[in-house]
Structure 1
Amino acid sequence: MINKNIIISTQPVEQAEKLSSLIQSQDVEFIKMPLIKTKTFELNKEIKNTLINLSIFNYIIFTSKRGVSGFFKLLKDMKLSVNHTSSLKFAVIGKPTAIELKNYGFKADYINPGNTSKEFLFYLLRDVINNCDKILMPLGNLASNFLPDALSEVATVTKIDVYETIKLKNINKRTLNKIDQNDYHLLVFTSPSAFENFIEITDYVPSNKKLSILSIGQTTTNAIQKLGFKVLLTAKKSTIEELAKEIEKLNNKYNTVQL
């Protein structure tokens, strides 16, 4: 019998810490089981040549907080800075990314009003990008090509990998056993790469394993469903704060059922 509702987070450590702090007032057991970690790439010739020539770009588009931090770390390593002028603007996929950009002293000129890459693309094509524009996209090595490929049809796009996503294989066996025995309430996933790694580790297949999944957003949900698994709930906004709200609602629901 489960005494407390058990939430298992597969997020990177720093994200899990934030989610844990947001739900600490709730009567849950929060278990951290990170499946990925990220690190900034070392400077290479491609990155150096791109950063030296930032003045040729009209837009720098960020699709994640990690892309922002990786980009500015590499700039710092080269002892360079960004000249944020009327000819170089920032576009970001959501408010958390805009806040991360602000932490480095810059305000986003354009913030995606939606929650998905498709909505971001529609917004950029409708209100921002012109045919002659040159765009820089600092990304992770496992980032989807959907947005840069689509933008490349109307503008000149340069991609640079500024951070690497590493799949972790040394996972706590006790936590995996809880999942195997369905001794939990929610599995939290915040990236396609985390779920892909989870399946690689467990060898679960949809026909013999039902999972209770809370997803941070539609991109992650789509990746999970593509592998044949169902998602219990997708957060309305792709933020950790929204995940905390969904956990609170589900926790209250589970507690009501147990009464």
Structure 2
Amino acid sequence: MLAEERKGLVYLVGAGPGDPGLLTLRGRQCLEQAEVVVYDRLLAPELLDYAPPEAEWIDVGKESGNHRVTQAEIDRLLVRLGRAGKRVVRLKGGDPFLFGRGGEEALALAAAGIPFVVVPGVSSALAVPAYAGIPVTHRGLAGGVTVLTGHETDAKHEGQIDWAQVGRSGETVVTLMGVANLRWIAGRLLANGLSPETPAAVIENGTTLRQRAIRGRLGEIADVATGAGVKPPAVFIVGAVVGLADRLEWRSAAQPLRGRRILVTRPQGQAAELAEAIRAQGGEPLAFPTIRIEGPLPVDPDFLRDRLNCADWLVFTSRNGVEHFFNQLYQAGLDARALYWLKFAVIGRTTGAALRERGIVADQMPPVYTAAELGKTLSSHVSGQSVLLARVADAPPELAAALRQSGAAVAELPVYRVEPDTRHAEWLREQLKQRRLDAITFTSPSTVRGLLGNIEGQLQWLAGVKIICIGPVTAEYARAAGLTVHATAANSGVREMVDCLVAEFRKD
């Protein structure tokens, strides 16, 4: 069968309401095998980590008031990708079949004969109230819940919603996409029997760390929300259960990074630990890889054996170096037994942990996690010995020079390379132009270079954004590139980076 005649498979996946932890296991499995991801807007950028690095991401740009790609165009895109034999994930906020137009996309696929799978998501209709301490049903207060769309005008609603039934049901009323029509919706509820004293709430950016709850009475909620400057996305909740929020609010507002949006520039698949530590302090981590790691680099098995047989020391300067060296080793038909006579040195705690995962404990690690300190630490151990540096291609020459000056014979083994990642440059530029970022974290000079490439050197976009670096080398590179570095973590651990972020924001 010709490639263009092959039929792929399209997964209509609900991404949940914003908190990346609410993506389902099935949704994650779909992303992990995706060849193409088609998304409206990336509610949680950490979802990037779940897709293969080679996956294509297509932003169809659907958000409130900005549908730069029409629904018909999206339908045709999914059909075209399916006919090309691709495994496609159509990633949609919340649940695809609850006001997500997933039914329309499924019908388009069915009409074209393209196989599809629906993966339900956690809906904002239930999750957002829960994150604000509002149970949508509660014994004695509400025996049911009605979910409405507020995205239409009153004319379009004509005949679609039985407002009289909604008004007399006694159920909690949850309206999605209703900020623009909030006053009209409240008016319809009042006109159909609800008391102006009925508790009501508008939850903005629900389930994210920017969540904001505006509460009041139905008769005044439109004015209260307007005065508070509420913007989409937001969920409108009406009913007696809203009155429980004072006692059931469970999210702490006292966390030191509360509400701060922090860009994590580490490569895809390596941001999770730092992101989780930021989230634990109340911050909102935005995983945005500015570089990608390509490895292991091809190496001739005989050449690798010769390099190892000549070495006394094997030195690693990053977790990536450990990972891709061992991948080279395995591809050559070898394993850790081929290293039994070697001594090992690592640049820091994270690299040492990666080595321990392979059953090897480093013999040397410097007190400060820099290449210069590693050279000093090894200077009294390597004279007259052979050192093999397993690290990134085109690595800076200072470490090798310092070891040679100490009397060592030094050989390089490139195990991976670093390339810029600009797949989502447009998203980053928009975040910076709209002043939506509070801080950016850098873990290496290459992450700085990658970010500058994404913003095409427009340093003015970084005004007001705190720059936090790991290690003096990264900080010096950032300053030389024209960035204002606000804090530097002396060592490369996640804890040190988060401590710097907390200390810097406490100054405000």
What TM-score comes out, normalization by structure 1 length? Answer: 0.87
Query: What is the CA-CA distance between 1:48 and the residue it aligns to?
Result: 4.1
Query: What is the CA-CA distance between 1:206 and the residue it aligns to?
Result: 5.5
Higher RCO, 1 or 2 (CA under 8 Å, sep at least 6)? 1
Query: What is the CA-CA distance between 1:149 and the residue it aligns to?
Result: 2.5
Residues 209-247 of structure 1: CA deviation (Å, up to 9, x unaligned): 535211111121121112232211111211223212222
Question: Corresponding residue for 2:484?
Answer: 230
Question: Corresponding residue for 2:270?
Answer: 15
Q: Answer yes or no: is the 8 Å Cα contact 2:389–2:410 preserved in 1.
A: yes
Q: Answer yes or no: is the 8 Å Cα contact 1:142–1:165 preserved in 2.
A: no
- Pick closer, same or farther for the CA change 1:114–1:42 going to 2, 3 Å: closer
Query: What is the CA-CA distance between 1:192 and the residue it aligns to?
Result: 0.9
SS in 1 for 2:388: strand
SS in 2 for 1:241: helix
5 Å-filtered alignment, 1:32-111, equals: 32-45=287-300, 48-82=302-336, 83-85=338-340, 87-111=341-365
- Pick closer, same or farther for the CA change 1:15–1:245 going to 2, 3 Å: farther
Q: Answer yes or no: is the 8 Å Cα contact 2:388–2:411 preserved in 1.
A: yes
5 Å-filtered alignment, 1:1-259, equals: 4-45=259-300, 48-82=302-336, 83-85=338-340, 87-125=341-379, 127-130=380-383, 132-153=384-405, 154-204=407-457, 210=463, 211-251=465-505, 253=506, 257=508
Q: Answer yes or no: is the 8 Å Cα contact 1:91–1:109 preserved in 2.
A: yes
Q: Distance in 1 between matches of 2:460 and 2:438?
A: 20
**Identity within the alignment, %:** 25
Q: Distance in 1 between matches of 2:387 and 2:499?
A: 35
- Pick closer, same or farther for the CA change 1:244–1:14 going to 2, 3 Å: farther
Query: What is the CA-CA distance between 1:200 and the residue it aligns to?
Result: 2.3
Q: Answer yes or no: is the 8 Å Cα contact 2:290–2:454 preserved in 1.
A: no
Query: What is the CA-CA distance between 1:205 and the residue it aligns to?
Result: 5.6
SS in 2 for 1:129: coil
- Pick closer, same or farther for the CA change 1:215–1:169 going to 2, 3 Å: same
Q: Distance in 1 between matches of 2:328 and 2:458?
A: 40
Q: Distance in 2 between matches of 1:228 and 1:41?
A: 33
Q: Distance in 1 between matches of 2:312 and 2:358?
A: 19
Q: Distance in 2 between matches of 1:42 and 1:139?
A: 11
Q: Distance in 2 between matches of 1:228 and 1:248?
A: 24
Query: What is the CA-CA distance between 1:208 and the residue it aligns to?
Result: 8.1
Q: Distance in 2 between matches of 1:174 and 1:207?
A: 17
Query: What is the CA-CA distance between 1:194 and the residue it aligns to?
Result: 1.6
**What is the CA RMSD across the aligned residues, in angstroms?**
2.3
- Pick closer, same or farther for the CA change 1:123–1:24 going to 2, 3 Å: same
SS in 1 for 2:326: helix
Between the two proteins, the alignment pairs up a number of residues equal to 249
Query: What is the CA-CA distance between 1:60 and the residue it aligns to?
Result: 0.5
SS in 2 for 1:245: helix
Q: Distance in 2 between matches of 1:201 and 1:241?
A: 27
Q: Distance in 2 between matches of 1:240 and 1:142?
A: 26
In structure 1, give the amino acid aligned to 2:389.
M
Q: Distance in 2 between matches of 1:77 and 1:155?
A: 29
In structure 2, give the amino acid aligned to 1:162.
V
What TM-score comes out, normalization by structure 2 length? Answer: 0.46
- Pick closer, same or farther for the CA change 1:207–1:9 going to 2, 3 Å: closer
SS in 1 for 2:412: strand
Gaps of 5+ in 2: 1-209, 213-258
Gaps of 5+ in 1: none
- Pick closer, same or farther for the CA change 1:193–1:183 going to 2, 3 Å: same
Q: Distance in 1 between matches of 2:382 and 2:475?
A: 28
Q: Distance in 1 between matches of 2:261 and 2:345?
A: 38
Looking at CA atoms only, which structure, 1 or 2, has the larger radius of gyration? 2
SS in 2 for 1:150: helix
SS in 1 for 2:503: helix
Q: Distance in 2 between matches of 1:208 and 1:176?
A: 8
Deviates more, 1:217-226 or 1:146-155: 146-155
Deviates more, 1:69-78 or 1:49-58: 49-58
